[in-house]
Chain A
């Protein structure tokens, strides 16, 4: 399998291309996806795809989030595999009925007569744009039965998870962190933490419902997703120099949630730190902490601890946003505190 160096934007675009080649039922729907001279979606992921697949399959819509998501639901009901894009993840709230009441419940309400194989792509994360273009929304969907939730941290996973999501027979919420998109062939954010990695050209899938151990360690388990995974990895490097060996797990899929590796790691290390960009209350970390409490309590030497954004809207000024988003330093501090406890 030949590989190419790709940013996440390139890997996602490649995933879309592979899916559209392999299945004529796959199509894209959203705002500014394929306008000639336009920008290929909010973050250039769909750039060039209209030229390759035509404007029918790279369907540009009015500014109508209810209609984008609703049309994806309807098309999925009749056997298509739509991939809908919100220009910014925050805008999904305009179409939330279509996600929570429609996409998520159709299979159940119909007693399995219909299914809704669609993907909803949401660019998330703070990037100096203020409160309405910055939210990390994964917990909203994790709380909704019937949805799957995916949040990759790197280009390889992004492509493989996207392909798996497209081929899954359920509605999948696919979160993409703006600071992980990367620049090559795409729009690079100034604060970008994007890595370019080797990504296979071919068709491959990373199974949904999996987490990934990114670094092994024996003293402490750190669970993190998307941008926070990179902060956690940096923190683990610093901690290692101080003699604290952290195991870092990428929470790349939140629903279904694969508790087994998390439980095993917690039992091994006895200490768990959760790092999320979502605000603290009711975030995915709260759910994971509660479950670990149920299954690994007697193995724990310290309370499961969370480092998360505060319970405020996302501020815009860089210095305030820096305070809001969990930093490497905060991860290190929390880890040291847990180890001392």
Chain B
């Protein structure tokens, strides 16, 4: 059992696993952004458009889509996903093919994506506490953005693309070896799911 844990952890540190996770998550995020963009256009034509994911009063892309938060920069947020995720997909595919990007390039990717994650969670909290409705595609964006962020951070911490001093880099690598990162991600996502249920209870099933 303990041997299995070690094997899983070794595999988890491999480039194949990390970049595959990044690739799949970025593809899911792109898909969700695309659907949300199409919905945004439908809502612009008709604010009452009955979207496929208007399941009930609590799960409603329409309610979320017409909120001001959904157009924070004057255009639908989903357009940002359409712009950013293909870049992540490109990085992931290139790295799977053993391309090594310059450290500065990866650092820039890390900075931009960190802003993206912050924005995604700001929207998550707005939907939960401000708008009062959730949309399944937005939740998919929240989830996949978290996973892309986790894998990108994993790589950049491991390869020291973050230009950390040696001691901090060693500590970071040790944390990765001990699986601290996966614990943080798991608990973080668990907390997000618990928050959704705490706020909306069983309504989210229906």
Report if A and B associate in a common complex.
no
| Chain A residues packing against B (C-beta within 8 Å) | none
| Chain B residues packing against A (C-beta within 8 Å) | none
